[in-house]
Amino acid sequence: MFEVRWHGRGGQGAWTAANLLATAAMLDGKHVQSFPAFGPERAGAPVLAFTRISDEPIEIHSMVYEPDAVVVLDPTLLATVNVVEGLKKGGSIIVNFDGGAEELYEALGVGKGEYRVFAVPATKLALEILKRPITNTAMIGALLKAHPLASMENLERAVKARFPGKVGEANAELIRKAYESTREV
Amino acid sequence: MSGGKVPKIPLEKQVRMAVNGDEAVAYAAKHSLVDVVAAYPITPQTIIVEKFSEFVADGEVHTEFVPVESEHSAMSAVVGAAAAGARAFTATASQGLALMWEILYIASSLRLPIVLAVANRALSAPINIHCDHSDAMGMRDASWVQLFVENTQEAYDTTIQAFKIAEDPEVLLPVAVNLDGFVLSHTLEDIYMLPEEEVHKFLGGYRKVTGKTYVDYLGKEVEVKLDPANPLSFGPLDLYDYYFEHKVPQIKALEKAKEVVKRVNEEWYELTGRRYGDGVIDAWGVEDADIIVTVLGSTAGTVRHVARQLRKEGVKVGVLRIRLYRPFPFEEVANAIKGAKVVGVMDRALSFGSFGPSYLDISAALYGLKERPLLVNYVYGLGGRDVPPSLVRRMFEELIKVKEEGEVKEPLKLLGVRE
Amino acid sequence: MAEAKKEPRGWKDLPLSALPYKLSLEYKTGSWRAFRPVIDQSKCIKCMNCWLYCPDFAVLWDGERVSVNYEYCKGCGICAHECPVNAITMVPETKKA
């Protein structure tokens, strides 16, 4: 079982990202679970969402405490939220970040080699393609670069079903761009 | 879920989807050809009626959707609809269920096969939107059939089964399908749905009024429904002359309901390949277990997850999920747990001034036995306090200690509360 | 099945649901009465105010004269109060008609 924790702010679509990844993995034939860190929606407040993906049926029904990967939709969260809390040793951190490696390690407060760290300038890409700073779909693409949890084909299917028409097309393009632009740092 | 026989509808003919528990219930209601939905939104149930109102707006269902001004009205409206012969459905949670309370008793006493989905949520105060079973336990004496589901798949399956159980001529009682708020209602899981027409077949199409009764003043047997051709008056005054007698058929119908729940579970298994224990209890590893934990709802999976680990470590533990809470399956529960040395009874609600509700039922189930296991009541997860595997493990470790010591020092424990 | 069942019935002899097994007409409420309305036919102008106001449909009209159905009349006195010509008197049940 692979467990992902999503960090975002209310309204940025962390829960949607968790659901889209789960749906894509479901289409690949996996067992999945995704849910928000149960709370009333508050725009702007730091929020969590989770995705579990497994070859076996998933029985457990509690929050994720020791994720295999964390995804950070918004770099401003690094200043207020400890995004590496509980992260498994050697686990992955995938951050929407447009800067140097050292700067990122410092913002995360972790040493080199403790975790695998991936960066993608998701806000920049989203502004280019969607014309809006919405990074949730881009960050799924970035996560897939670090961990092939779902096929790109089924992720596109899931995204286009969730956002029909032009919006879906644009998000599919953004996902591909983000996937290509993601670098381990 | 257990393998073996090939179901009538093999998995490749079923529809695989990723939906949350609320959506699963909404799809189940749609597939069940519901005639009337009357509902009032409340978290964490809202997605059910929101999704269903989309089906209505898109013309995908024939349902009359009644947006009422309160849950009291919602239950009243479905009482009227069901009395007129409609297949009626509503959903609620927490304060909404509390507001329905007086009409719950009327729905069951009038023997109306309504289905109610409850996305279980704590009761105020303080206001809390998260899961516990306090709302459902407030209706446990209301003569409803109460089922608790473990996951999103079971939420879909059970909602459909609920109509079949409710409308069985030997039951004719309303059925509440309980799914844990947020933990299931808002959690997306991969499930199988049936092709819609297969659900229609399973339920025999639209609701047919199955209750028939002889009415002296009409001089004939008539269908129990509001009908100008055979006028009936539902629930007029009964004093100490007949009220007591009127309660007896309810008691008998609830007794029958247990067998019908089991039968429908088996019919569903033949159709879909899915079943949930014997329908009333879902036991794991209880046969040779020294320590058994009983639990309702979604926490069962987490408890089983920990129990599997403990088994690997050589500790003989078992898990008993109670799926049918009312009528309480006394015999089945007693048989499943009587061989254990210690039983931990998990309750996500407290009868304040007493124990957790299921502890009282399980105590009653065991009382008649000469040799009984030791019982410890764990009240857990109030107001949505999460139940991680580490907490479940701590409970098992305490139960192991109780077994070693051979006595229960504290029969009521609050699991996961801060000192 | 069709013959009337003896009273009081056991639970098996009741209809399903919370349905009554007999019509409300079989509940004769005339015994509740302490005062009896008596109509003075010489004063009655057949305006039917009493028929209109009677909460128990216990005022009768046979096409010629107004009368009271004493099997159901509870003796509330509304008819006497509403009669515009004071044709109705409430007589204690202790007195003979």
Distance CA C97, CA C93 (A): 8
Size of interface A-B (CB pairs under 8 A): 69
Is the pLDDT score of B128 beyond 90? yes
Quote the pLDDT of residue C5. Answer: 64
**DSSP-derived 3-state class of residue B96:** helix
In the listed set B243, B272, B301, which residue is the last one of a domain according to the structure? B272
Q: What phi and psi, each to the nearest 5 degrees, are found at residue A138?
A: -55, -40
Go through B249-288 and write b for each residue having 16 or more CB atoms within 10 A of its CB, e for each that does not.
bbeebbebbbebbbebbebbbebbbbbbbbbbbbbbbbee
pLDDT, one tens digit per residue, over B43-100 is 999 999 999 999 999 999 999 999 999 999 999 999 999 999 999 999 999 999 999 9
Of B301, B384, B388, the CB nearest to A65: B388
CA atoms lying within 13 Å on the CB side of residue C72: 14
Residue B405: CATH number of its domain: 3.40.50.920
pLDDT, one tens digit per residue, over B234-251 is 988 888 989 999 999 999
Q: Is the domain of B183 the same as that of B49?
A: yes
Question: Please, which residues 9-28 of chain A have a Cβ atom closer than 8 Å to chain B?
Answer: 18-19, 22-23, 26
3-state SS of B213-268 is: EEECCCCEEEECCCCCCCCCCCCCCCCCCCHHHHHHHHHHHHHHHHHHHHHHHHHH
Chains that touch B (3 or more CB pairs under 8 A): A, C
Residue A162: CATH number of its domain: 3.40.920.10
Average of per-residue pLDDT across B315-339: 98
- In terms of CATH architecture, what is C28-92? 2-Layer Sandwich (3.30)
Quote the pLDDT of residue C1. Answer: 43
Quote the pLDDT of residue C2. Answer: 46
Residue B186: CATH number of its domain: 3.40.50.970
Q: What is the mean pLDDT of chain B?
A: 96
Q: What is the mean pLDDT of chain A?
A: 96
Is the pLDDT score of C93 beyond 80? yes
Confidence of residue C95 (pLDDT cuts 50, 70, 90): confident
The whole-angstrom distance between A10's CA and the closest CA on chain B is 16
Instruction: Please count the structural domains in chain B.
Output: 2
C15 touches chain B (CB under 8 A): yes
The whole-angstrom distance between A102's CA and the closest CA on chain B is 35
Quote the pLDDT of residue C4. Answer: 57
User: Is B227 contained in some domain?
Assistant: no
Q: Is the domain of B265 the same as that of B291?
A: no
Q: Are A64 and A5 in contact (CB under 8 A)?
A: yes
Quote the pLDDT of residue B216. Answer: 86
Could you give the ipTM of this predicted complex?
Answer: 0.95
CA nearest to C37, candidates C90, C78, C94, C96: C90
Q: Which residues of chain A have pLDDT under 50?
A: none
Q: What is the DSSP letter of B6?
A: P
B166 touches chain C (CB under 8 A): no
pLDDT, one tens digit per residue, over B4-38 is 678 999 999 999 999 999 999 999 999 999 999 99
Q: What phi and psi, each to the nearest 5 degrees, are found at residue B39?
A: -155, 160
User: Is B232 contained in some domain?
Assistant: no
Closest alpha carbon within chain A to B297 = A61
Of B17, B130, B183, the CB nearest to A61: B183
A19–B18: do the CB atoms touch at under 8 Å? yes
Confidence of residue C43 (pLDDT cuts 50, 70, 90): very high
Q: What is the DSSP letter of B212?
A: E
Instruction: Please count the structural domains in chain A.
Output: 1
Q: What domain range is A78 assigned to?
A: 2-184
Q: What domain range is B366 assigned to?
A: 281-415
Q: Strand ranges (DSSP E) for A12-170?
A: 31-36, 46-54, 69-72, 92-96, 116-120
Q: Is the domain of B205 the same as that of B287?
A: no
pLDDT, one tens digit per residue, over A45-84 is 899 999 999 999 999 999 999 999 999 999 999 999 999 9
Among B16, B180, B190, B415, the strongest candidate for a mutation testing the A interface, having the largest count of A CBs within 10 A, is B190
Domain boundaries defined on chain C: 28-92
Quote the pLDDT of residue A94. Answer: 98
Average of per-residue pLDDT across B186-215: 96
User: Based on C-alpha coordinates, what's the Rg of chain A?
Assistant: 15
Q: Is the domain of B202 the same as that of B346?
A: no
Quote the pLDDT of residue C25. Answer: 82
- DSSP assignment of B144-201: -EEEE-SSHHHHHHHHHHHHHHHH-TTT---EEEEEETTTTTT-EEEEEE--HHHHHH
